[in-house]
């Protein structure tokens, strides 16, 4: 069996050369591709009765991929979104191999013909102002750990940063004087600068006092850089504690990304234009940011309050001449 037939060398080139060197994909994407293949290969090896290092490209047959996707959903209880992420990694590998090995073009076409599964998107969750205030009041700021937790929660709310962006922010990225701001490195290495409130600056200044500029801003209990998983664990812990102050939080799943959504909705309610919010959050497309305008119930309620619903059904021709009805329909 030649090296061109074995899947192992192809995967090594795919992960080390293509994903990292050629495409320079984000770290999370690199990890996602790696994890998908780390699950796929043992699955195929067991069913093909072959050692992992002797698997051929043909062993990753379309019916084997379909069986793997079914295994993810039924045995591992993965969501449809996770299933589709794993399939995207397999599609990318097939495309990479076919582009460099013409004899595998037919195999690639069959694998890439496996479709993504449609799923309903969950309703985006965000916190009202009272809920966010209650969450910020929960940490005990008199202790070092409580100060770190409060600073991190305030930082997430102020900037709308992703958990990974907050985890990788360094002290050198902070500008706490003049017009305070922070440099955030988002997806695909895209850099943006977010303004900071003076209250956020005061807390961050206390947190980073006496430390080196190349250190990350937020550290864990062992003095090591906190991870995005650690940030989400911390957020969930305080969300569980704040239940008596804001009972409505008990019905919401609160994560670092929930706070990001909260920032966007609150900016929108404050009258900030949608394009500024797009730049604030680091979205590539305005279509992504428009989601917040669609989910904000308060803005829809205001639109409803400012229009008079007619007691009788109006003819369609009169709809277009009635500003109140049109405002109501647009709000929906």
DSSP 47-83: HHT--GGG-BGGGS-HHHHHHHHHHHHHTS---HHHH
- Answer whether residue 321 shows pLDDT above 60: no
Residue 165 structure tokens = 């962006």
Domain ranges, ordered by start, for the chain: 7-112, 129-293, 300-331
Catalytically annotated residue among 104, 148, 162, 278 = 162
- Answer whether residue 195 shows pLDDT above 60: yes
Catalytically annotated residue among 192, 260, 266, 278 = 260
Catalytically annotated residue among 257, 261, 266, 283 = 257
Among the residue ranges 62-66, 227-231, 291-295, the one predicted with the least confidence is: 291-295
- Answer whether residue 310 shows pLDDT above 70: no
Query: Domain 129-293 maps to which CATH number in 1.10.443.10, 1.10.10.10, 1.10.3720.10, 3.30.470.20?
Result: 1.10.443.10
The predicted-structure confidence for 198-231, as pLDDT tens digits, reads as follows 999 999 999 999 999 999 999 999 999 999 999 9
Residue 187: active-site member: yes
pLDDT recorded at residue 35: 96
Q: Which of 165-169, 277-281, 326-330 has the highest mean pLDDT?
A: 165-169
pLDDT recorded at residue 34: 96
| Dihedral of alpha carbons 104, 106, 110, 112, sign | positive
Residue 294 structure tokens = 């669609």
Q: Residues 165, 152: contact at Cβ < 8 Å?
A: no
d(Cα 108, Cα 172) in Å, to the nearest integer?
A: 46
pLDDT recorded at residue 311: 46
Query: What is the pTM assigned to this prediction?
Result: 0.74
The Cβ-side half-sphere exposure at 312, using a 13 Å CA radius, reads 3
Q: Residue-wise over 186-217: b if at least 16 C-beta within 10 A, else e?
A: bbeeeebebebeeebbebbeebbeeeeeeebb
Residue 79 structure tokens = 């969501």
Length of the chain in terms of residues written: 332
- Answer whether residue 320 shows pLDDT above 60: no
Q: Residues 293, 269: contact at Cβ < 8 Å?
A: no
d(Cα 3, Cα 52) in Å, to the nearest integer?
A: 14
The predicted-structure confidence for 216-271, as pLDDT tens digits, reads as follows 999 999 999 999 999 999 999 999 998 777 888 888 889 999 999 999 999 988 88
pLDDT recorded at residue 204: 97
CATH class belonging to 7-112: mainly alpha
Residue 245: active-site member: no
- Tell me 21's DSSP state: I
Catalytically annotated residue among 187, 236, 245, 302 = 187
pLDDT recorded at residue 78: 94
pLDDT recorded at residue 296: 57
Give the mean pLDDT of 86-95.
97
What percent of the chain has a predicted confidence (pLDDT) above 90?
A: 66
């Amino acid at each position: 069996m030649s090296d061109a037939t074995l899947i192992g060398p192809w995967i090594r080139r795919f992960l080390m050369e293509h994903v990292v060197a050629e495409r320079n994909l984000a770290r999370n994407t690199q990890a996602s591709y790696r994890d998908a293949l780390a699950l796929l290969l043992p699955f195929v090896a067991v069913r093909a009765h072959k050692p992992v290092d002797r698997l051929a490209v043909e062993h990753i047959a379309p019916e084997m991929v379909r069986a793997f996707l079914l295994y993810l959903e039924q045995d591992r209880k993965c969501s449809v979104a996770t299933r589709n992420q794993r399939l995207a990694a397999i599609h990318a590998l097939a495309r990479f191999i076919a582009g460099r090995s013409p004899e595998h073009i037919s195999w690639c076409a069959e694998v890439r013909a496996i479709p993504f599964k449609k799923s309903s998107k969950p309703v985006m969750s965000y916190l009202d102002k009272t809920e966010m205030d209650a969450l910020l009041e929960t940490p005990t700021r008199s202790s070092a750990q409580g100060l770190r937790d409060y600073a991190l929660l305030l930082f997430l709310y102020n900037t709308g940063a992703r958990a990974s962006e907050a985890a990788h922010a360094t002290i050198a990225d902070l500008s706490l004087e003049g017009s305070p701001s922070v440099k955030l490195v988002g997806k695909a290495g895209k850099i943006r600068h977010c303004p900071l409130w003076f209250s956020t600056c005061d807390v961050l200044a206390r947190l980073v006092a006496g430390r080196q500029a190349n250190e990350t801003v937020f550290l864990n209990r062992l003095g090591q850089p906190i991870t995005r998983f650690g940030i989400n664990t911390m957020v969930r812990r305080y969300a569980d504690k704040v239940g008596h102050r804001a009972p409505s939080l008990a019905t919401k799943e609160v994560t670092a990304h929930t706070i990001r959504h909260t920032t966007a909705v609150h900016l929108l309610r404050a009258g900030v234009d949608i394009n500024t919010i797009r730049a604030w959050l680091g979205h590539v497309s305005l279509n992504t940011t428009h989601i917040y305008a669609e989910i904000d119930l308060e803005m829809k309620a205001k639109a409803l309050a400012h229009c008079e619903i007619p007691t009788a059904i109006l003819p369609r021709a009169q709809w277009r001449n009635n500003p109140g009805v049109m405002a109501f329909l647009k709000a929906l």
